[in-house]
Amino acid sequence: MSTLNAGHLDVCDLPAIMRTNYELTRMMGALKVSKEILKPHLEIQGQRSLSGEINISGAKNSALVLMTASLLTREALVIRNVPKLTDVEGMSNILLAMGVRLDRKLDEIEIQADKIQHIELPYELVHGLRASFFCIGPLLGRLGRARIPLPGGCRIGARPVVEHIRGLKALGAIVNVEHGVVTASVPGSQRRLKGADVILDCPSVGATETILMASVLAEGVSTIENAAQEPEVQDLAKMLNSMGARITGAGGPKITIEGVDELHGCEYKVMPDRIEAGTFLIAAAITRSIIRVSPVIPEHLSAVLQKLRDCGCSLQIENEAINLIPGQITGVDITTQPFPGFPTDLQAPFMALLATANGTSVVTEKIYENRLQHVAELQRMGASIRVQGNTALIEGVPELSAAPIKGSDLRSAAAMVLASLAARGTSKLEGLNHLDRGYEEIEVKLNKLGACIRRN
Ligand code: EPZ
């Protein structure tokens, strides 16, 4: 075997076993690199101005809960304007696994729950989709029992369901939580839940919707005080009433539900997605472009529109459309609140805008305990942000620079798309599994406005 000359190691000088090892390591390394390259990602060219009109899809956070409301009747439900999202696919699979009939044609879903075979939702289908927990109310209200895995926390927070359970117990249900599964049932003697007055500790959207759906078939009258006032709650109440429910006060702090014996089917159109609309308005502002967003219900976005004006944009509001004309963007302070306050789901996208504003901004996240993860990614692009607890202090910079970045949850991924649209150079964004949960063909919609985004 030849001697190894000092300083230069030639692989063929290595003993055979080490040679194989070396080759293996090289191959593994190459494999790892190619896996990295193969990870689905968006390539986003920055600093292109946009123009034109962007079409807003149906609201994810309405469509998901409306789909579960189909469990309240034996009759068919036709839900229109349902967005093409992975979360909607996930919810469809859960309903199908329960034995529900479900047909999707374009943006329309027909659902009929006349033969529910399983009231226990399989963990592998529900663990990634918090909205799966919305099934507990209708199953309990209609069948008198349900077994739903606890929806785990997620990156943005613990996301407990204490309020949901408190409300179900107030309606007379027996609810146990063990081994990560919530088992709920109507006590043997009773056939139906009993109307009750519930005062929520916090205006939880999910708890309000769960209690609404559990109480529509209860015996007697129920009230929910400190109810969530989000438009998605109003959309649900509107559809339940068109199914024969008797709900008043939805959208306000106190909702009254008069229980009925049964609900019938209906046809219903999902409202436009206010969070998607807000995201694209911010896209216009951050690229200093004039764009039109439609359909949108302006009063669903009042707090966001006010902040867009405060930071220098002007807005032309029409019946179901909004035109944004950007000005010199200056810093503003934002604190997220329950509706009608500034929505937590637009905190990350708006922070991307403030990172490029002229001046200082303070953003405080009051809804979730861990929803500032996009800060680190924005800093990689040159943003000047300091975090103290749940508050971020942002010093706007003249320009962000493109970088390889990741979205760690749905809305932080959206924020990184916006930051990339404004940055100098071409960014590579990973985390499309998060992005595709809540934005239907986001790169297709933005490319129609003149963006240059490639999905690889
Ligand atoms: C809905 O989640 C939305 N999801 C969220 O959108 C949205 O951020 C949230 O409402 C607030 O608007 C869907 O509708 C599917 P919550 P939900 O119960 O119902 C605390 C997105 O990006 N809380 O109002 O889970 C909770 O920890 C997603 O589209 C309790 O303390 O929200 C959180 O801090 C993210 N105890 C706050 O309330 C409870 O029992 C808001 O939660 C329940 C909630």
Cα–Cα distance measured from residue 210 to residue 195, given in angstroms and rounded to the nearest whole number: 14
Q: What percentage of the chain reaches a pLDDT higher than 90? A: 84
Instruction: Give the burial class of 383: count Cβ atoms within 10 A of its Cβ; 0-12 exposed, 13-18 middle, 19 or more buried.
Output: buried
Q: How confident is the model at residue 153 (pLDDT cuts 50, 70, 90)?
A: low
Cα–Cα distance measured from residue 239 to residue 38, given in angstroms and rounded to the nearest whole number: 43
Q: How confident is the model at residue 217 (pLDDT cuts 50, 70, 90)?
A: very high
Residue closest via CA to ligand 1's atom 38 equals 204
Q: Quick check: 35 pLDDT over 70?
A: no
| pLDDT attached to residue 4 | 40
Ligand 1 centre to CA of 314 (Å) is 31
User: Do 308 and 324 meet the contact criterion of CB atoms below 8 Å apart?
Assistant: yes
Catalytic site residue from 154, 266, 311, 313: 154
Ligand 1 centre to CA of 53 (Å) is 31
Q: How confident is the model at residue 120 (pLDDT cuts 50, 70, 90)?
A: confident
Confirm or reject: Cβ of 162 under 6 Å from ligand 1.
yes
- Reported in sequence order, the residue ranges of 288-421 that DSSP labels E, i.e. its strands, are 290-294, 314-317, 322-325, 334-335, 360-364, 384-388, 391-395, 404-406
Confirm or reject: Cβ of 348 under 6 Å from ligand 1.
no
Residue 154 CA: nearest ligand 1 atom is: 35
Q: Quick check: 12 pLDDT over 50?
A: yes
| pLDDT attached to residue 36 | 59
Residue 369 CA: nearest ligand 1 atom is: 34
User: Amino acid identity, residue 334?
Assistant: I
Ligand 1 centre to CA of 159 (Å) is 7
Helix (H) or strand (E) holding 446: helix 442-448
| pLDDT attached to residue 127 | 83
Axis crossing angle, helix 136-143 with helix 205-215, rounded to the nearest 10: 10
- Reported in sequence order, the residue ranges of 34-170 that DSSP labels E, i.e. its strands, are 41-45, 51-55, 76-80, 101-105, 108-112, 145-149
Residues linked to residue 77 through DSSP beta bridges, in sequence order:
111, 266
Residues 275-329 pLDDT 10s: 999 999 999 999 999 999 999 999 999 999 999 999 999 999 999 999 999 999 9
Cα–Cα distance measured from residue 185 to residue 176, given in angstroms and rounded to the nearest whole number: 9
Residue-averaged pLDDT of the chain: 93
Q: Quick check: 136 pLDDT over 50?
A: yes
3-state secondary structure of 190: coil
> Among residues 203, 202, 132, 144, which one has the least CA distance to residue 168?
144
- Alpha helices (H) along 56-119: 60-69, 86-97
Q: Quick check: 38 pLDDT over 80?
A: no
| pLDDT attached to residue 26 | 75
| pLDDT attached to residue 450 | 98
Indicate the pairing of strand 322-325 with strand 314-317: antiparallel
User: Amino acid identity, residue 33?
Assistant: V
| pLDDT attached to residue 19 | 67
Predicted TM-score (pTM) of the model is 0.93
Q: How confident is the model at residue 204 (pLDDT cuts 50, 70, 90)?
A: very high
User: Do 86 and 65 meet the contact criterion of CB atoms below 8 Å apart?
Assistant: no
Location of structure tokens 């390394």: 29
Location of structure tokens 């063990």: 178
158 or 253: which leads in pLDDT: 253
Residue 165 CA: nearest ligand 1 atom is: 40
Domains and CATH numbers, the chain: 42-57+272-455 (3.65.10.10), 60-269 (3.65.10.10)
Q: Quick check: 23 pLDDT over 90?
A: no
**Most informative mutation of 205, 368, 371 for ligand 1 (most atoms within 8 A of CB):** 205
| pLDDT attached to residue 122 | 82
Residues 397-432 pLDDT 10s: 999 999 999 999 999 999 999 999 999 999 999 999
Taking the alpha carbons of 312, 318, 322, 325 in that order, is the dihedral positive or negative?
Answer: negative
Q: Tokens at residue 260, please?
A: 């009925």
Cα–Cα distance measured from residue 172 to residue 218, given in angstroms and rounded to the nearest whole number: 10
Q: Quick check: 394 pLDDT over 90?
A: yes
Residues 165-197 pLDDT 10s: 999 999 999 999 999 999 999 997 777 999 999
| pLDDT attached to residue 33 | 61
Helix (H) or strand (E) holding 273: none
Cα–Cα distance measured from residue 281 to residue 315, given in angstroms and rounded to the nearest whole number: 10
| pLDDT attached to residue 3 | 41
Average pLDDT over residues 357-379: 97
Average pLDDT over residues 7-14: 58
| pLDDT attached to residue 5 | 45
Confirm or reject: Cβ of 276 under 6 Å from ligand 1.
no
| pLDDT attached to residue 151 | 84
Cα–Cα distance measured from residue 453 to residue 63, given in angstroms and rounded to the nearest whole number: 27
Average pLDDT over residues 330-353: 98
Average pLDDT over residues 152-172: 90
| pLDDT attached to residue 219 | 96
